[in-house]
Structure 1
């Protein structure tokens, strides 16, 4: 698991942003995300990448339809329709709010681990911070069972206040203990929420080919 200072504030570009078809303004972002079922074609995606000044394109698949693979897309993340904003927030390196964070290069490196990715998340509520962390981590391990051989996983924590380093160590040890691939790309980031008595874990992992 990689621990590092979040240096993503070195410029004013957004890390990740969601774009919808037929928009008039393309705010710049390094990672341009789009929902595949919105009907984007190759020409529209090329235009999106150019106008947004994006380094990579990431498609979000919110249904079970089989889509043609496009070489101009770096990766596809499968998620539920109501999880789209959660995926964007996880990929947005600038949302990291403590010294435990990721930068844009880390997120781009994740999409070098494969083409098909899965988003999962787990949460816990209660008065005890450690109990919530332990419960959410246990749930996340269950969701990552099929990712034992993954080449890359990005984990994000979301809490009301900054977590102690011991909490990050507990989470990372549990996840790394699950993975059988010693060379897996694994990063842990953190962000804040105003939802009281709640702790969340979110993850995007590369599916096996």
Structure 2
């Protein structure tokens, strides 16, 4: 079971759909209702998430859990963020938490912030400030999922710093904020990636 990824990006051109808990697909790839139902059945996905990379609407919201808006070059980043099997276990997030997040709304936005440099504490502060600044421009956030990426396993103080900054901005939704951490091979960098639901 641990070998099955939490999230997989599916294309209609695939010969077969490998199993996953969260099936992601790009809405503009001409997925109709029948194709989406077939994807859900063949991938054995617990739920489906549409990725909106343009202004194309998706009429079959009752089949999928939600839509994440992102730029075309961020599709991989969204899928990796949702792939909680690849995360560290220090926080203990899993697919059930992702399902709960998507119960906060149907439409989500993807954002990210990063910094590079030699001093880890500065990277964390700068990146957190950038993310909080982006979140402050959103309207009435109902649910939020933040992924932290660093070259090494993060100490609990980093989680606390990021969580305090975010929850100070969004005190009313603290029970609907989820965190994860993962490793990157990019040295001297710190990344925060997030999806959030707006009212």
Please give the range of the TM-score, normalised by the shorter of the 2 chains. Answer: over 0.9
Deviation at 1:163, TM superposition (A): 1.4
**Equivalent residue in structure 2 for 1:24, among 12, 15, 40:** 15
Q: 1:41 and 1:91, CA in 2 relative to 1: closer, same or farther beyond 3 A? A: same
Under a length normalisation based on structure 1, what TM-score does the superposition of the two structures give? 0.90
Alignment counterpart, residue 149 of structure 2, candidates 148, 158, 165: 158
- Structure-2 residue corresponding to 1:15: 6
Per-residue deviation, 1:37: 0.5
Q: Distance in 1 between matches of 2:130 and 2:99?
A: 27
Whole-Å Cα distance in 2 between the matches of residues 204 and 118 of structure 1? 5
Query: Per-residue displacement from partner, 1:79-106 (whole Å, max 9, x unpaired)?
Result: 0011001001110111112413411100
- 1:134-167 Cα offsets, whole Å, 9 max, x none, are 0000000011113463221000000001111111
Structure 1 residue ranges without an equivalent (≥5): 1-9
User: Within 1, Cα distance between the matches of 2:55 and 2:144?
Assistant: 22
- Deviation at residue 180 of structure 1 after TM alignment: 4.2
Find the residue that maps to 2:6 and give its secondary structure: strand
> What's the RMSD between the two structures over aligned residues?
1.5
Asked if residue 200 in structure 1 is aligned to residue 183 in structure 2, the reply is: no
Cα distance per residue 1:171-205 (max 9 Å; x no partner): 00000011142455111100000101110000010
Which residue matches 1:129?
120
Partner of 1:44: 35
Q: TM-score, with normalisation over the residues of structure 2?
A: 0.95
1:59 CA displacement: 0.2
Q: Write out aligned runs for 1:61-140 (5 A).
A: 61-140=52-131
> CA, structure 1 residues 24+162, in 2 after alignment: closer, same or farther (shift >3 Å)?
same
Q: Secondary structure of 2:172's match?
A: coil
Secondary structure of 2:153's match? coil
Return 5+ residue gaps in structure 2 as ranges.
none
Cα–Cα, structure 1 residues 201 and 101, in superposed 2: closer, same or farther, change >3 Å? farther
Is residue 98–residue 191 contact of structure 1 (8 Å, CA) maintained in 2?
no
How far, CA to CA, are the matches of 2:28 and 2:47 in structure 1? Answer: 19
Alignment size in residue pairs: 199
* Alpha carbons 1:150, 1:184 under 8 Å: kept: no
| Kept in 2: contact 1:151–1:183 (CA 8 A) | no
Whole-angstrom distance in 1 between the partners of 2:27 and 2:122:
38
